[in-house]
Amino acid sequence: MAITLTYNATTLTLPDALSWADEYTWSPIEQSQTYTTTALHPGGHR
């Protein structure tokens, strides 16, 4: 079964025979967020 990706007016169809080299060796991305009440702007300036 082919996979079709669409973004705005662009469509891309991935064929069935596409090779997924790291299908079993990938690892998910981990991230965290910290919320504060100091109202610092990006760059650390008030």
The DSSP secondary-structure symbol of 40 reads P
Q: How confident is the model at residue 16 (pLDDT cuts 50, 70, 90)?
A: confident
Rounded distance between C-alpha atoms, residue 23 and residue 7, angstroms: 24
Six token digits for residue 26: 């990938």
Per-residue buried b or exposed e for 22-38, using 16+ beta carbons within 10 Å of the residue's own CB: eeeeeeeeeeeeeeeee
User: In the chain, helix, strand, coil percent, each to 5?
Assistant: 0, 20, 80
pLDDT digits (tens, 9 = 90+) for 22-44: 888 878 888 888 877 776 666 65
